[in-house]
């Protein structure tokens, strides 16, 4: 079930198609149909799949499967809520295609009433937010100046890794009244088996193509990095002069620096992507409104920004309660009401 639909999808890149194929092979293949007239499950097809079958599959994804021959080991690990939602979304589209096909293969979509696990159940443990001094402790352990520049840029702009490392000299405008940098492209992973492994493509979404204002420190950094360089050259380059690769930066620069900071007492173990989360936390602490943060991060929807970072706005509780108190303290003229006299 599923491959013809995946192969016929339009508007997606080949890497995404590979991801869909993998989800079909490794996860949707676990679907089973429990026929009412039989004691055992039978293979699920696009025609016999029911809501109960989908519910049972979600539970299988949530629970995972332990290895009976090795204590503490897994044959298949539990899926996180976001992954289950993504896979269920693919299943929904496959079934809906059968509903809308000619001839019609089924009359209803059995995925419409599925109760999925809440994504926010694990939000806090998936994201790490660094205080300014905590980031400084990690950055101090990065001895390669080129790697330190890139880490400072990721924390200072909130850019995705693939966007920052794809910046070219031509994207930088240091002569405008407000210096800026434009996000025009990002690194994409090539389909499995193709070379090279990565290629330059459009940013993640339409709104990810954006322009960011630069701080004076960022202007100084970029002026140092781009002066005398060709317009088509990458802004951030590894020590040998080529573009950065995530695996190299992570294993050779970030992990050693983070581990050294942990050994000296840092209580957190952030990933590279946590620098993006950290940037948001700093902006919220500075009372920057969420719509402005949405634009800076390149989120397609404000709902994405609210869902991921809205809980951090609790830091504004004092300002909110003060505003309410100030508004409610103003006497209100009540028209048409007479005081009740006491008898």
Mark which of 95, 125, 155 sits at the end of a domain: 125
**Residue 332, domain member (yes or no):** no
Q: Are residues 88 and 206 in the same domain?
A: no
Q: Are residues 100 and 167 in the same domain?
A: no
Q: Are residues 281 and 150 in the same domain?
A: yes
Longest dimension (CA), the chain: 93
Q: Are residues 183 and 96 in the same domain?
A: no
pLDDT value of position 127: 86
Per-residue pLDDT of the chain (343 residues; tens, 9 = 90+): 656 888 888 878 787 888 899 999 999 999 999 875 556 677 889 999 999 999 999 999 999 988 888 888 888 889 988 899 999 999 999 999 999 999 999 999 999 999 998 765 444 447 899 999 999 999 999 999 999 999 999 999 999 999 999 999 999 999 999 999 999 999 998 877 778 888 999 998 889 999 999 999 999 999 999 999 999 999 999 987 789 999 999 999 999 999 999 999 999 999 999 999 999 999 998 889 999 999 999 998 888 888 888 878 766 667 667 777 777 775 555 555 555 555 4
**Residue 72, domain member (yes or no):** yes
> For position 137, which CATH number holds?
1.10.443.10
In 3D space, the residue among 310, 121, 308, 161 whose CA is nearest the CA of residue 249 turns out to be: 161
Q: Are residues 50 and 196 in the same domain?
A: no
Q: Tally the domains of the chain.
A: 2
- What are 273's two structure tokens? 């992507």
Number of Cβ within a 10 Å radius of residue 108: 11
Mark which of 74, 97, 125 sits at the end of a domain: 125
SS3 at position 157: helix
Half-sphere exposure of 88 (CA within 13 A, CB side): 27
The size of the chain, in residues, is 343
Q: Which residues pair with 234 in a beta bridge?
A: 168
Q: Are residues 88 and 178 in the same domain?
A: no
**Residue 179, domain member (yes or no):** yes
Mark which of 125, 155, 171 sits at the end of a domain: 125
User: Residue 11: what are its φ and ψ, rounded to 5°?
Assistant: 80, 15
Q: Are residues 43 and 148 in the same domain?
A: no
pTM tops 0.75, yes or no: no
**Residue 342, domain member (yes or no):** no
**Residue 330, domain member (yes or no):** no
- What are 243's two structure tokens? 């573009």
94, 109 contact by CB (below 8 A): no
**Residue 328, domain member (yes or no):** no
State the alpha helices, DSSP H only, in the chain: 3-8, 14-26, 51-63, 81-100, 123-126, 132-139, 145-157, 161-164, 216-226, 246-249, 255-263, 274-285, 290-297, 302-309, 317-328
Q: Are residues 165 and 309 in the same domain?
A: yes
Q: Are residues 120 and 145 in the same domain?
A: no
**Residue 196, domain member (yes or no):** yes
pLDDT value of position 336: 56
pLDDT value of position 291: 93
Q: Are residues 144 and 116 in the same domain?
A: no
Q: Are residues 143 and 82 in the same domain?
A: no
**Residue 194, domain member (yes or no):** yes
15, 36 contact by CB (below 8 A): no
146, 168 contact by CB (below 8 A): no
SS3 at position 162: helix
Burial class (CB in 10 A: 0-12, 13-18, 19+), 190: middle
- DSSP track, 199-259: EEE--SSGGGS-EEE--HHHHHHHHHHHTT--TTSBSSB-TTSSB--HHHHIIIIIHHHHH
Enclosing domain of residue 63: 3-125
- What are 144's two structure tokens? 């390669």
CA distance 138 to 258: 5
Task: Measure CA 83 to chain center.
Answer: 12
66, 86 contact by CB (below 8 A): no
Q: Are residues 53 and 83 in the same domain?
A: yes
């Amino acid at each position: 079930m599923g491959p013809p639909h995946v192969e016929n999808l339009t508007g997606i890149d080949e890497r995404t198609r590979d991801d869909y194929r993998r989800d079909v092979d490794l996860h949707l293949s676990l679907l089973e149909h429990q026929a009412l007239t039989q004691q055992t499950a039978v293979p699920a097809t696009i025609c016999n799949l029911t809501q109960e079958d989908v519910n049972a599959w979600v539970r299988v994804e949530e629970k995972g499967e332990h290895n009976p021959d090795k204590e503490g080991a897994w044959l298949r690990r539990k899926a996180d809520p976001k992954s289950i939602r993504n896979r269920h979304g693919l299943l929904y589209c496959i079934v809906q295609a059968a509903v809308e096909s000619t001839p019609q293969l089924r009359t209803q979509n059995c995925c419409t009433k599925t109760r999925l696990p809440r994504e926010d159940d694990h939000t806090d443990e998936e994201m790490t937010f660094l205080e300014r001094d905590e980031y400084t402790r990690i950055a101090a352990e990065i001895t390669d100046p080129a790697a330190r520049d890139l880490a400072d840029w990721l924390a200072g702009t909130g850019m995705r890794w693939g966007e920052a490392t794809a910046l070219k000299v031509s994207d930088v405008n240091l002569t405008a009244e407000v210096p800026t940098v434009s996000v025009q492209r990002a690194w994409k992973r090539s389909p499995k088996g193709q070379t090279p492994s990565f290629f330059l493509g459009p940013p993640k979404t339409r709104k990810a193509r954006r322009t960011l204002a630069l701080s004076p420190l960022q202007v100084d950094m970029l002026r140092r990095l781009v002066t005398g360089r060709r317009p088509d050259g990458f802004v951030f380059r590894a020590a040998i002069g080529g573009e950065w690769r995530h695996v190299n930066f992570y294993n050779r620069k970030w992990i050693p620096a983070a581990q050294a900071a942990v050994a000296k007492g840092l209580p957190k173990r952030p990933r590279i992507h946590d620098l993006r989360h950290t940037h948001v936390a700093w902006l919220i602490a500075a009372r920057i409104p969420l719509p402005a943060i949405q634009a800076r991060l390149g989120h397609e929807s404000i709902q994405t920004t609210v869902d991921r970072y809205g809980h951090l706005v609790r830091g504004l509780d004092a300002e909110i309660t003060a505003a309410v108190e100030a508004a409610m303290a103003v006497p209100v003229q009540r028209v048409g009401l007479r005081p009740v006299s006491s008898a």
